[in-house]
């Protein structure tokens, strides 16, 4: 018997080491990866439905007007910490200001900037990016038609000077 106050003695036999984990075949690993990807696609599809509902409401509220959409983009608080326009008002019919503002906002919500974000934020950024892009193209075409076709088509340039 050990005397009181004497240091405890360690058992002479060491505990058994756990068995090494079973190595998994490449087929099993591939199957796991494919199942995980399928689960991610299913989660993304559910989140897309919710994001589309939200963006449909946003589009109805702004009546598909790119100017109102850009001014109200700050309402997407998951994407914008502050007002992307800085409180500035966007003048209707000013193609240059519209282009600058559109690019400024889209640069902040570009899906590549949200790769590390939560799934719902990534999906919301993708869907809002598409919605604003479509509305911008409609307004750009309208402005080009109003100005007598003075706006150039995307990718074309006037090199004759």
Q: Please determine, for residue 155, whether its predicted confidence score (pLDDT) is greater than 50.
A: no
Using a 10 angstrom Cβ sphere, with 0-12 exposed, 13-18 middle and 19 or more buried, the burial of residue 48 is: middle
pLDDT in tens, 99-140: 999 998 999 899 899 888 899 999 999 999 999 999 999 999
Q: In whole angstroms, what is the distance from residue 63 CA to residue 100 CA?
A: 22
Average pLDDT taken over every residue of the chain: 83
pLDDT, residue 23, reads 85
Q: What is the pTM of this model?
A: 0.69
């Amino acid at each position: 018997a050990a005397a009181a106050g004497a240091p405890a003695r360690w058992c002479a036999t060491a505990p058994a080491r756990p068995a090494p984990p079973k190595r998994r075949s490449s087929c099993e690993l591939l199957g796991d990866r494919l199942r995980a990807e399928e689960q991610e696609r299913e989660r993304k599809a559910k989140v897309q439905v919710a994001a589309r509902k939200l963006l449909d409401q946003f589009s109805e509220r702004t009546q598909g007007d790119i100017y109102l959409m850009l001014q109200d983009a700050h309402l997407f608080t998951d994407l914008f910490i502050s007002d992307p326009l800085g409180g500035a008002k966007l003048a209707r019919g000013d193609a240059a200001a519209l282009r600058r503002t559109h690019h400024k906002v889209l640069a902040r919500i570009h899906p590549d900037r949200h790769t590390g974000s939560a799934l719902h934020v990534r999906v919301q950024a993708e869907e809002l990016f598409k919605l604003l892009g479509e509305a911008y193209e409609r307004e750009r075409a309208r402005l080009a038609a109003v100005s007598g076709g003075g706006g150039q088509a995307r990718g074309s340039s006037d090199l004759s000077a």
